[in-house]
Amino acid sequence: MSDQKPVELKTGDEAPTFVLPSDRGEDVDLQSFRGKKNVVLYFYPKDSTPGCTTEACNFRDAVFEFNKVDTVVLGVSRDSVASHQRFVEKQGLNFPLLSDADGKVCEAYGVYRLKKNYGREYMGILRSTFIIGKDGRIKHAIYGVKVKGHADGVLFAVQEI
């Protein structure tokens, strides 16, 4: 992980491409959605923690609404595929979770940052969501997400593109 200031993606930027392993035992290539589907790509700190569980379950509950507007939901953290599999099974998640074990995708999206919690500083994932259009460009970049109401807000934003 680099010591440089993180990138900050914005509307209109080309979404950094990647291929990552999923909880489903297959690699997910962002390019495979180009021209076919919008993508909600959300980054979260850790499987099975309270905020991350709430966020994942909110996306789970809205996934059929996202499907109606040609949109797939993909969750990304640095947890292992095995951890994702346990999380998906326990919460009944209906969308892929991707493992960015080496953090390269987190860095490309500018979400791996210095965080402060109870006076302690550490590097970690800043909860963030990117709406990527069928053209492969960022339609919305939301850094520092608050979980409450987030999935509904993202669904509304997707319906507007």
Residues 58-69 pLDDT 10s: 999 999 999 999
Could you give the number of structural domains in the chain?
1
Full residue range of the structural domain in which residue 148 is found: 19-159
Taking the model in full, what pTM does it have? 0.93
Within a domain: residue 5?
no
Catalytic residue among 40, 52, 74, 98: 52
pLDDT digits (tens, 9 = 90+) for 17-28: 999 999 999 999
Please choose, from the candidates 109, 108, 113, 142, the residue with its C-alpha nearest in 3D space to the C-alpha of residue 128.
142
| Residue 126 CB neighbours (<10 A) | 19
Tokens 């409450």 map to which residue?
Answer: 148
Residue 74 has pLDDT above 90, yes or no: yes
Residue 2 has pLDDT above 50, yes or no: no
Active site residue 57: no
Find the CATH number of the domain harbouring 104. 3.40.30.10
Between the two ends of the chain, the Cα-to-Cα distance in Å is: 34
Residue 14 domain flag: no
CA distance readout (Å), 8 to 35, 83, 136: 24, 28, 17
Q: Which residues contact 112 (CB under 8 A, 6 or more apart)?
A: 1, 6, 103, 106, 123, 124, 125, 126
